Structure 1
Amino acid sequence: MKTLLLIPIYAFFLSGCASAVKRHELAQGHLNKTVDCEVAHADIAELESHKTSTGEKLVNGVASILPTSILLNVILGEFTSRAAIATGAFDSKVDSKIQDIQSDCMLAENDNKVMLVKQ
C-alpha cells in the first residue's frame, strides 16, 4: 500500500524537474559554442535563461539520491544532469561561460542589454 502511495509522489517530483534537465541538455550547445561578439548579448541572455532556480536544485537533489529515482535516472540517462543541477555545478559552468563572453567581447558585467539597431 505504501508503494502505491509513493508512486504518485515520485512521479510528481520527477515531472517537476524534467524541464530543468531539458534546459541543461539545451544549454550544453551554448556552453560549447565559440564566442561571437556580434551576438554576445543574445548569447548571455540565453545562458541566463538556462540557470536553475533553488526549487529546481532541491527537487533534482532529492531525485538524484532516492534509490528508486537513481535507478530510473540512470536508465533514462539523466543522472549526471540532475546531479550537476542539484550541486550547482551546472550554474557555475553557465556563469563561467558568461564571464568568458564578457571578457572576450570586452563587455561590462552590467552591460547585458540587447541593443536594437534600425536598418
Structure 2
Amino acid sequence: MKALFIVPISVLLMSGCASAVKRHELAAEHINKAVNCEEAHGHIASLESHKTTIREKLVNGVASVLPTSILLNVILGEFTSRAAIATGAFDSKVDSKISDIQSDCMLKENDRKVMLVKQ
C-alpha cells in the first residue's frame, strides 16, 4: 500500500526538479568553455542564471535519497547531477568559474557592464 503512494510522489518530485538538472548540463558546457574577456560579463551573467535555488537543492536532495528515485535517477543518468545540486557542489563549480573569469579578465567582483539598447 505504501508503494502506491511512494511512486506518484517520487514522480512528482522528479518532474519538479527536471529543470535544475537541465540547467546543470547547460552550465557544465559553460564551465568548460574558454572565455573571451570581451564577452566575460555575458558569460558571468549566464553562469549566475544557472545557479540553483534552495527549493531546487531540497527537492533534488529528496529525489537523490528515496529508493525509488535513486533507481530512476540511475536509469536516466541523472543521479550525479542531482547529488551535485543537492550538496551545493554544482554552485561551488559555478562560483569557481566566475572567480576564474574575473581574475583572468581582471574584473572587479561588483563590476557590471551596463548595456544600452537602442529603442
TM range (shorter): over 0.9
Contact 1:58–1:86 (CA under 8 A) maintained in structure 2: yes
Task: For 1:112 and 1:6, locate their aligned partners in 2 and report how far apart those are by CA, in whole Å.
Answer: 46
* Amino-acid identity (%): 79
Matches of 1:8 and 1:31 in 2, distance apart? 35
Q: Mean alpha-carbon deviation: is it higher for 7-16 or for 25-34?
A: 7-16
1:41-86 deviation line (CA, Å, top 9, x unaligned): 0000000000000110011011111111111100000000000000
Cα distance, 1:12 vs. partner?
Answer: 1.2
* Native 8 Å contact 1:64 1:82 kept in 2: yes
* Structure 1 residue ranges without an equivalent (≥5): none
Q: How does 1:7-86 map onto structure 2 within 5 Å?
A: 7-86=7-86
The Cα shift of 1:117 comes to: 8.1
Q: Work out the number of aligned pairs and report it.
A: 118
Q: CA RMSD in A?
A: 1.4
Structure 2 alignment gaps of length 5 or more? none
Distance 1:117 1:38 in 2: 18
Decide whether the 8 Å contact of 2:52 with 2:91 is kept in 1. Answer: yes
1:116–1:105 CA distance, 2 compared to 1 (3 A): farther
- TM-score normalised by the chain length of structure 2: 0.93
Between 1:109-118 and 1:21-30, the stretch displaced more is 109-118
TM-score by length of 1: 0.93
Aligned to 1:93: 93
State the shift of 1:113 in Å: 3.3
